[in-house]
Structure 1
Amino acid sequence: MTGIAVLGSTNMDLVAYVARAPEPGETVTGREFRTVPGGKGANQAVAAARAGGNVTMIGAVGDDVYGAQLRAGLEHAGIDTDLLHTAEGPSGTAHIVVDDTGANSIVVIPGANGTVTAIGPGEMAAIAGADLLLLQLELPLSAVVEGARVAHAQGVRTILTPSPVLPLPSELLDCVDLLIPNQHEAAALTGFADPLAAARHLLSQVPAVIVTLGAKGCLYAARGGEPVLFPAPEVTAVDTTGAGDTFVGTLAVALGERRPVPEALAWASSAAALCVQRPGASASMPYRTEIDAA
């Protein structure tokens, strides 16, 4: 079983469903509200666990009711939470608006995630003992860089999702094996709106890049080879909130199983396609049997 360490955020998603998102200064009436466990780190952890990975979650929750719910949800998914610390104060929250096309906009309040500024010996040991490390940017950058350094020093394959997007220091990029931005993040990082141009630029900084393109699939590029576009399955989206994290978590399992890249990408794309057909983030993520069947 693939061992995956996730150093990342754990949030409670507060999701409002509306016909269309409000314009600045406008009020609209929604049809439904849900609280759903989320956070990019926790979402990737759940996706990887449901896809068959042996997952350890590294991060923090608050000492509020959301913190207890978030921890319980991860444990229910079979994720090791011994290194998910409890900090004083509120847990992280994400305030999400989902419209009738499935598109979403998100405001993240870090809460307890902001207390994870460094990692200790236990966290270092968990990263060193994993097959892959998954990173995002919803924790303080200092902890992300430290985790990447530990993984790189131990030969642990490191995958970074640069979200929310911010300038990436070379000390982080030097330790990343695979960078997975979406097309908007790729443009923000490089200044190139064209995903192909953005991917080629990013290859000067990391060995491999996957630019996710939503319903259009993803673009894979690695040093020494030609970029390849992999189409996504055609489905009707209900909620795209957890699609990117589903893709990354599932892909990590496939790569840990040493599947060829085309097969791994097809498997992860199938998982993301299943996810967007259901409401919610972690709640919508498919299990291994469902992905195999798809």
Structure 2
Amino acid sequence: MADFGFNEHHQSEIINYMRFARSKRLLRLKAIDSCFEELKDSRLVEDTYTVDEVRDMLDGLQMVVRGEVEMELINTAHTNVLLLRQLFSQAEKFYLRLQSDVSELENRELLEQVAEFEKTDFKITNKLNQETSKLKLAPLNEGGVSELLNKEIAKLQEDNNKLKSRLRTLESQAMSVLDEKAKLERTLKDLQRTQGEQKLSAQTKEINNLEDTVAALTEDYERSLSANEATQKELKESLITAKHELLRVQEQLSLAEKELEKKFQQTAAYRNMKEILTKKNEQIKEIRKRLQKYEPDD
């Protein structure tokens, strides 16, 4: 039995195509035989012929036979194109690109192997003939994914799982660094607030008192909108004076805060904390760059 390296399904498809090709070949041979029979019946009616008459009969027969052979060759080429069209259409559904080696079509060894296959393997039992004759060229998407596609899909899934695992690891590292940064920032704020609370307590109380005064004056001003113009002018002046005083105190407080911050920044605890935060920020930037390799921003 000839071995083409195909599975049982593809082997039966080859048998179907060879059966089709043989039937077309037999029909064309019958047509050629009929040409000769027609010549015998229509022209060979005398005992002797001249050279010109024989030449004329042979030329006519040559034209008829040539037409039959040419028609069969053209039909065979077109049929092969339709067969390739079916195969390529199925391959393109799964984004495959089939290739053919035209030089292999003249490989004598392979041609002899096909001839041997036609003589031996093509002669199967009637039961198998009946079953395979009913089969059609099934699209790949209806008959299942081929072994090549299954392997490729499995490989892609494995790569995808590895990327997902790597991404989860990077996300976990990023979250850990962010949490640590947040803790350090809270610690720094607590240190700043602790050292500044004592010196800013007096200014804070004064600001609160002034804010309460401004709020009370504003409330009185709103209640007395219907009063006379003199009373309204006096309230406005009081409010403006209070606001000016508030701005002055806020400016003093701002200067005091800047002075306090300047002194605090000179302490060793602040410098250490600032250096830790800088290192964590660099780690976050590096992790973000690594994350963008797997999930780039739109």
Tell me the TM-score range normalised by the shorter chain. under 0.3
Q: TM-score, normalised by structure 2?
A: 0.17
Structure with the higher fraction of residues in helix conformation: 2
